[in-house]
Amino acid sequence: MTNRPKLAAGFLSGLRSILPPMAILTDPEDCWAYGYDNSRRHSLPQAVAFPTSHEQVVQIVNACNQHQTPLTARGRGTNTVGATVPLQGGLVVSLERMQKIIEFSPENRLLIVEPGLTNQEIQTLAGSRGFFWPPDPTSAAYCSLGGNLACNAAGPRAVKYGTPRENTLGLRAVTGAGREIRTGVRTSKGVVGYDLTRLLLGSEGTLAIITEATLKLTPLPEAVQTLRAIYRSVLDAAIAISTIMAQPIVPCALEFIDGNAIEMIRHHSACDLPAQAGALLMIEVDGPREGLKSIAAKVADAARNDGLLDIRIANTAQEVDALWQTRKALAPALRRAAPKKINEDVVVPVTAIPDLIEGLDRLSVKYDLPIINFGHAGNGNIHVNLLLNPDTPGQSQKAQNCMDEVFTMVLNLGGTLSGEHGVGLEKRDFIDRELDANVLELMRAIKRQFDPNGILNPGKLLPPD
């Protein structure tokens, strides 16, 4: 870190000609906070810039190319895989001040905005006219739109409404070569040319910096009905998930927690779960108010099997809060038990969830590390939480060895290494297990085409060649 070459004086003077003084940080103590994200990795940048327009981003990228300065784009730093950590120092471009609303057209069901708005601010704006943008990460109150797009981050509603890739019509961006591009359309249909919009979504800032997004809005449902189902085992819950997802009514949320998570909740909060509870599903359906209770009843029927211990349908706001209380108790329980835990998201076919949980239980015993599992069951997207204290000698290495086996198991089950957190640094060295050499070389060629000097977010996503 301390041996890195200083930024060229010409680069800094050029940066100061683009941005006002209050939009540039160079003192290490000021830059420190922009060197980490929610992965707890840290690498100090040598400068931080806060553009407020697309044109400024173009000039910054061109200056970085001229002086061969690494550039890492950043939203609000909620990423969990180190995707926004400036691995090679250089310049961090924080897009948090780019918050303009370019166009809001409810009649066309679209919203064009800059990337610095938070997910919640977008939901509030869309909601004022009876719409919402479906991606809803847990960190919605804090995470930025740009970060959602860069990681293709979704949330519970993805099971019915899809991810940012299904809910973004077009982008304005600046490639690593400093070229301005517009991708996509303003309409719900359009097949002219390659789909560069979907390519940039999820590329983690390695190809281009997104400066504007055209979002596809969805009308808010009239009503939502909440159900909670408790099962003897993960297998019973998985059978219910498959049955629910095979019937015509798609839930807008289908959340899962395993028996280990239930036991943790018991130890840290009051809950009304049966003693033999081995898995829990939280289910929500939405739609027209008229007939929604009948729809919920059909989903409840699909959720029933021989392993069902209890199922409840909420009829009032108070009952909804009561049903969600158990699930909401999990996050604070995990924070108290292991504030420095590892949280990795993986995805397997729904029918493979029991095998995944069983395998994770075996690894928990093998490595003497508690493992708590929950996630978006309708997608098979499970969040694997290793409860460790990295300050305890040997635990970090045990956790790394354990995650190595977790990733191998996920791929053997026909799954994928990430559903919504991305690759970043944490999973970069594992993706060649999922992607073959020809695919990786094609990805590297795409990277070179967009970013010929390799300045954008170097060292991320792609393993070393």
pLDDT at 1 over 50: no
- Cβ count within 10 A of residue 440: 16
Question: Does residue 352 contact residue 411 with C-beta atoms inside 8 Å?
Answer: no
Q: What is the pTM of this model?
A: 0.93
- Averaged pLDDT for residues 50-62: 98
- What does the radius of gyration of the chain's CA atoms come to, in whole angstroms? 23
Q: Cα-Cα-Cα-Cα dihedral of 48, 51, 57, 59, to 10°?
A: -80
β-strands 253-258, 371-376 pairing: antiparallel
Q: Tell me which of 106-110, 213-217, 270-274, 360-364 is least confident.
A: 270-274
- Averaged pLDDT for residues 81-108: 97
In this predicted model, which residue has the larger pLDDT, 268 or 412? 412
Instruction: Give the whole-angstrom CA distance, residue 454 versus residue 424.
Output: 16
- Averaged pLDDT for residues 28-51: 95
pLDDT at 266 over 60: yes
Q: How confident is the model at residue 285 (pLDDT cuts 50, 70, 90)?
A: very high
Instruction: Give the whole-angstrom CA distance, residue 112 versus residue 190.
Output: 17
- Averaged pLDDT for residues 335-349: 89
- Angle between helix axes 234-246 and 353-367 (nearest 10 degrees) is 150
CATH numbers and ranges of domains, the chain: 1-220 (3.30.465.10), 223-332 (3.30.70.2190), 338-427 (3.30.70.2740)
- The predicted pLDDT at position 5 comes to 64
Query: Strand, helix or coil at 278?
Result: coil
Q: How confident is the model at residue 2 (pLDDT cuts 50, 70, 90)?
A: very low
Q: Tell me which of 199-208, 387-396, 414-423 is least confident.
A: 387-396
